[in-house]
Amino acid sequence: MTTHFKKNRKKRAHVNIVHGHIGKHRKHIGGHGNAGGYFKVLGKVFLPENQPVVVKVKLISKNTEKKIKENGGAVVLTT
């Protein structure tokens, strides 16, 4: 392969040249796959009326679980 088609160190990880290379390597706030992120459901926002909701979560608060079940929904716990 010729050097014409190779990407040098700066162009790896596909970031526009205008933006430089410093902000390219950020931490993974959302995590990789199921890891990391904000995964506990607190239920502070409003739930739709007369529309059952099925929620699949790792962690959930007692009040939220109660709200969902009162509304006719279900909570599925995953590992």
Q: Where are the domains of the chain?
A: 9-77
pLDDT at 26: 60
Give percent of the chain above pLDDT 70. Answer: 54
65 vs 6, residue with greater confidence: 65
Q: What is the pLDDT of residues 17-47, one digit of tens each?
A: 665 556 555 666 566 666 665 667 777 778 7
Burial of residue 72 (number of CB atoms within 10 Å: 0-12, 13-18, 19+): exposed
* pLDDT of 54 strictly over 60: yes
pLDDT at 24: 57
